[in-house]
Structure 1
Amino acid sequence: MNAREIRELFPILNQEVNGSPLVYLDSAATSQKPVQVIEALDKYYREYNSNVHRGVHTLGTRATDGYEGSREKVRKFINAKSIEEIIFTRGTTTAINTVAASYGRDHLKEGDEIVISYMEHHSNIIPWQQVAKQTGATLKYIDLQEDGTISLDTVREVVTENTKIVSIMQVSNVLGVMNPIKEIAEIAHQNGAIMVVDGAQSAPHMKIDVQDLNCDFFAFSGHKMCGPTGIGVLYGKKALLEKMEPVEFGGEMIDFVGLYESTWKELPWKFEGGTPIIAGAIGLGAAIDFLNEIGLDNIEKHEHALAAYAMDKMSEIDGMTIYGPKEAGKRAGLVTFNIDDVHPHDVATVLDAEGIAVRAGHHCAQPLMKWLKASATARASFYLYNTEEDIDKLVAGLVKTKEYFSDVF
């Protein structure tokens, strides 16, 4: 793949910020959108904007075909068995909350255990905190090894016959760690638990096969994979979804409504109450087409090469602390770091003055920050449109930042 050619397909990247060409290194927060996705959204609103599933007129049929066509694209993208297992949501957060509020609420009781890790994003912590309070279940954490990775031996120690749910992110948005989900799922199942996967940082960057992973639920967001904001996916095994109750009630998700009792539509629509995210789903379908054309294997290889290049260059800067595994093969396409005696917000501010966009803060992972003994960090995250030249500019900006604060103090 040619990242420079791909970059030209992203209109927003062709601009200057603070007098310098934009270097966008914050794709872990949200990715930019290629012209194909922008045009798909524009076409929907210009040519066949209509509600779905309800009308028999031409525009309604076109909108329904586009919406449900995207569901099939998602099914193929993650290799689910059936479209009945693909539920459109607002994003990863909504998807995980749905599992916690429906499956968790109905299947947990006092004495049961929910197992997560210290590296989890807040959206894979707080829902489990809440359902644990509601049901009396215990929330347990898998500790991390020194480099931030998870040991399967530790998983075996923490997951017990009392564990009912294990919920782990496939790729850390802070450490870049790629977790052994398939093996963790096997341990969970051996103990009678289900496996929930936060795929927000994996689905955009590598091939996903939910059948091979044998996870019970898998959640991801469209906006991190070249798609629109406000659209995401919850995959769930059909046998589990059929037994779960909806968490939102209203139009679209009903079969029959009486004065005092109602029944629900079949899967997947019983979980999609109200007017669905039609444009978002169509845009997500266009994003999947775009990523498939480039190839997820190519994207993953490109990002790993960028991460290795960035690690080498950034490690040469005195006073630089890089978090997570040092081996390139264990790290996805991001680097989280701190510079001695410089607050990460100051690092991000100076870089922004050079037209370089990075993330600074706790990255919605405060328990992990505590584990790292850091109040905040800076993060550069890469995607298919980034190049080694972008990293060279980042490194030059970091050197300038270090020099600036050395002179000030």
Structure 2
Amino acid sequence: MLKVENIRKDFPILSRHVNGKPLVYFDNAATSQTPQQVIDAIVDYYSNYNANIHRGVHTLSQEATDKYEAARQTIQNHFNAKHAHEIIFTSGTTHSINLVANGFSALLKKGDEVIVSTLEHHSNIVPWQMLCERTGAILKVIPMNVEGELVMSDYDALLSNKTKLVFVNHISNALGTINPIKEIIDKAHNVGAAVLVDGAQACPHVKTDVQALDVDFYVASAHKMCGPTGVGVLYGKEVWLNKLPPYQGGGEMIAEVTFKKTTYAELPHKFEAGTPNICGGIAFGAAINYMDNIGFDAIASYENELLDYGTQKLLEIEGLKIYGTSKHKTSVISFNLEGIHPYDVGTILDKMGIAVRTGHHCAQPIMDFYKIPGTIRASFAFYNTKTEIDALVEGVKKAKMMLS
């Protein structure tokens, strides 16, 4: 069982006030907060061994390199990748997806088909649209139902020997729906297609085993799981990473450069051109260690408790509707008040120190499906409490009274 009050002490920001009220932070699906242990890792890097990596023979460079590569190993172990060189550091999930999409420009041809789902974040839609424009491939879409779940029978019908790639998120950022990704992966592999899973929203809540899933690519961002912004990871099976051409040219990703020909470095450096976010990578490793020490089973159990409690309390408010009602979901509640714009509710909640996200959450096709402009999204983390949910409920009631 989590000792939440002790955990909250690790997060300095949770003790601050906003607009004269204690901060209630329910925007974790956008960015989680950062514990002191990760902040300390950032300060330690810049205070004690700030240097460029992989190139220097001096002590600081060697220390920074060792810490950076140790973080890669931490990430490998966390996701159970077979090789450390299958872990590519990127600037985040969006960068990771674009890296793969760019690589497949050389592998697809006109008439090939790629599949995405209606539940995707824009960052897992737009790169594939751009890829199809470049290659002449055809984009197909798995539809959703009113509960916010993918219609798997339609997915079955979309698959064929023309399907080359399938892209789906592990968990919907807008609705919290947990997708059946193992089934999606297995069915794609049956027709010879590769699969990329957007794990940005899953990584704070579940511990993913990429080998057990047999997924070809899995992408995530540090800032969703208690780490810093501006750093993320691409896991790719070695066989696929070797097939893809480099995404960027520059230092570090080369083996030998002449004006006649350049040869590229081995994995993972082939995809890590230039000076990386060294501190970010190290801090990402520290964040994963922090969450692993708490334990993802305990995190999931507690967050499900928060989800059930929040759902029950919010549904007691007349005129409140929740979008995304799958039995398989994580601690995200997207809702609206009848006749009231979500932005207006979010503004009033902010005056009460309550941080929620309003809008389409970079998932406009979902909002179009429900024929709404957006939702109010409250997303809970393992450091949130039922008392904070009570404050949210009272805030929503007040907003309803003021805006009706």
* Structure-2-length-normalised TM-score: 0.99
| 2-structure distance, mates of 1:253, 1:121 | 30
Counterpart of 1:226, as a letter, is C
| 1-structure distance, mates of 2:54, 2:6 | 39
1:294 matched residue in structure 2: 294
After superposition, what is the alpha-carbon deviation per residue over 1:83-122, rounded to whole angstroms, capped at 9, x for unaligned?
11000000000000011000x2022111111101111000
2:196 matched residue in structure 1: 196
Q: Does 1:306 align with 2:306?
A: yes
Deviation at 1:375, TM superposition (A): 1.1
| 1-structure distance, mates of 2:298, 2:224 | 17
How has the CA–CA distance of structure 1 residues 210 and 326 changed in structure 2, closer, same or farther, with 3 Å as cutoff? closer
2:272 matched residue in structure 1: 272
Matches within 5 A, 1:312-351: 312-325=312-325, 327=327, 330-351=328-349
How has the CA–CA distance of structure 1 residues 253 and 326 changed in structure 2, closer, same or farther, with 3 Å as cutoff? closer
Matches within 5 A, 1:1-400: 1-102=2-103, 104-325=104-325, 327=327, 330-400=328-398
After superposition, what is the alpha-carbon deviation per residue over 1:69-94, rounded to whole angstroms, capped at 9, x for unaligned?
00000000100000110000000000
Deviation at 1:344, TM superposition (A): 0.6
| 2-structure distance, mates of 1:185, 1:345 | 37
Counterpart of 1:53, as a letter, is H
Assess if the C-alpha contact under 8 Å between 2:247 and 2:271 holds in 1. Answer: yes
1:401 matched residue in structure 2: 399
Deviation at 1:304, TM superposition (A): 1.2
Deviation at 1:367, TM superposition (A): 1.2
Gaps of 5+ in 1: none
Assess if the C-alpha contact under 8 Å between 1:66 and 1:282 holds in 2. Answer: yes
Counterpart of 1:7, as a letter, is R
| 1-structure distance, mates of 2:211, 2:134 | 31
Assess if the C-alpha contact under 8 Å between 2:32 and 2:225 holds in 1. Answer: yes
Assess if the C-alpha contact under 8 Å between 1:307 and 1:331 holds in 2. Answer: no
Assess if the C-alpha contact under 8 Å between 2:251 and 2:273 holds in 1. Answer: yes
Deviation at 1:372, TM superposition (A): 1.5
After superposition, what is the alpha-carbon deviation per residue over 1:281-318, rounded to whole angstroms, capped at 9, x for unaligned?
00001101100100011111111111111110001101
| 1-structure distance, mates of 2:152, 2:91 | 32
| 1-structure distance, mates of 2:11, 2:210 | 30
After superposition, what is the alpha-carbon deviation per residue over 1:194-243, rounded to whole angstroms, capped at 9, x for unaligned?
01000000011111000111110000000010000000000000011012
Deviation at 1:400, TM superposition (A): 0.5
Counterpart of 2:24, as a letter, is V
| 1-structure distance, mates of 2:135, 2:41 | 44
| 2-structure distance, mates of 1:396, 1:264 | 58
SS at match of 2:223: coil
Assess if the C-alpha contact under 8 Å between 1:185 and 1:214 holds in 2. Answer: yes
SS at match of 1:235: strand
Point out the more displaced range, 368-377 or 225-234. Answer: 368-377
| 2-structure distance, mates of 1:139, 1:76 | 34
Assess if the C-alpha contact under 8 Å between 1:175 and 1:336 holds in 2. Answer: yes
After superposition, what is the alpha-carbon deviation per residue over 1:33-64, rounded to whole angstroms, capped at 9, x for unaligned?
00000000000000000000001111001000
| 1-structure distance, mates of 2:198, 2:281 | 19
Assess if the C-alpha contact under 8 Å between 2:26 and 2:380 holds in 1. Answer: yes
Between Structure 1 and Structure 2, how many residues are aligned? 403
SS at match of 1:107: coil
- Please provide the CA RMSD for this pair: 0.8
Deviation at 1:134, TM superposition (A): 0.3
Assess if the C-alpha contact under 8 Å between 2:356 and 2:376 holds in 1. Answer: yes
Assess if the C-alpha contact under 8 Å between 2:177 and 2:326 holds in 1. Answer: no
| 1-structure distance, mates of 2:43, 2:335 | 39
After superposition, what is the alpha-carbon deviation per residue over 1:298-339, rounded to whole angstroms, capped at 9, x for unaligned?
111111111111110001101101001253xx1101100110
Assess if the C-alpha contact under 8 Å between 2:11 and 2:35 holds in 1. Answer: yes
Deviation at 1:173, TM superposition (A): 0.5
| 2-structure distance, mates of 1:227, 1:155 | 34
Deviation at 1:146, TM superposition (A): 2.2
Assess if the C-alpha contact under 8 Å between 2:216 and 2:237 holds in 1. Answer: yes
Gaps of 5+ in 2: none
Deviation at 1:161, TM superposition (A): 1.4
Deviation at 1:129, TM superposition (A): 0.3
Deviation at 1:403, TM superposition (A): 0.7
* Structure-1-length-normalised TM-score: 0.97
